[in-house]
Amino acid sequence: MNEDTLLSARGLTLHFGKVPALVNVDADLWPGEVLAVVGESGSGKTTLLNVLSGRMRADAGVTWYRDPQSRLHDVHAMPAPALRALHRSDWGFVHQNPRDNLRMSVSAGGNVGERLMAAGQRHYGNIREAAIDWLAQVEIDPARVDDMPRTFSGGMLQRLQIARTLVTHPRLVFMDEPTGGLDVSVQARLLDLIRSLVARLNIAVVLVTHDLAVARLLAHRIMVMQRGVVVETGLTDKVLDDPQHEYTQLLVSSVLQA
């Protein structure tokens, strides 16, 4: 593992029966960097995200995480309590469907405040204050702090999920198709928001997307996956402007034709 990588994976391999979801995948992520994982549906992107974040085990390979004290942790050898604590504090996970993460019968403020309460904060006024501040940061009217998420639009739900995730200032956030399923205009606004937040807060992101335009807008580096294999990796602009692998060339040309 390089001196200052935040997350490093080597030789990740995982089969579902005969389906190769990951084949000898290496990945590195530096602090503050956005790494996009792109590829067609079924290429293994979500599986990679789940393995990197310790939510799923690989058949082979290792994933290292460097904590703020610069100690290295083998993500899959961590005791469950430590991994769960990591997911509640230093890490975050943004799901494609915000309903998978939000508590739909709890107010927006309660949703945003939960990680603070889990981290031991016990001052109602401060928690509410932080929730209101975070709603504003994700461009939700703070007057809606007491409203139930079920009264929110799809784009607002996704922004609420982001506020709920970022409230503890994680250093590393995993995102799985965060703009999937949203209207194009709503997508554009959300992408701008994600881009400015991660830049300002210096958050490292592993971003899974099948959309090259999303990768281009948000990611510093890109990994292209095909049938579980990383076929090409490099700086986003370089890979997309001058793709070397024929599968990447196919992906890029299909975007240009569209």
Enumerate binding residues for Mg ion (CB under 5 A).
46
Q: How far apart are CB 7 and ligand ADP at their closest, in Å?
A: 18
Strand arrangement of the beta sheet that strand 19-29 belongs to: 19-29, 7-16, 60-66, 72-74
d(CA 220, CA 242) in angstroms, rounded, equals 15
Binding-site partner at residue 258 among ligand ADP, another protein, Mg ion, none, CB < 5 to 8 Å by type: none
Name the residue nearer to ligand ADP (CB basis): 109 or 228.
Answer: 228
Residues in the chain, total: 258
Task: Scan residues 10-29 and list those touching ligand ADP (CB under 6 A).
Answer: 16, 19, 21
Give the number of residues in contact with another protein, rule: CB under 8 A.
Answer: 23
Burial class (CB in 10 A: 0-12, 13-18, 19+), 206: buried
- Residue of 146, 192, 237, 242 interacting with another protein (CB under 8 A): 146
* Binding-site string for another protein from residue 95 to residue 134, where x marks contact by CB under 8 A and - marks none: --------x--xx-xx--xxx-xxx--xxxx-xx------
Q: Is 87 in the site for another protein (CB under 8 A)?
A: no
Q: How far apart are CB 162 and another protein at their closest, in Å?
A: 18
Q: What are phi and psi of 234, to 5 degrees?
A: 165, -170
Name the residue nearer to ligand ADP (CB basis): 39 or 243.
Answer: 39
Beta-carbon contacts of residue 164 (< 8 Å; ≥ 6 apart): 101, 102, 111, 112, 114, 115
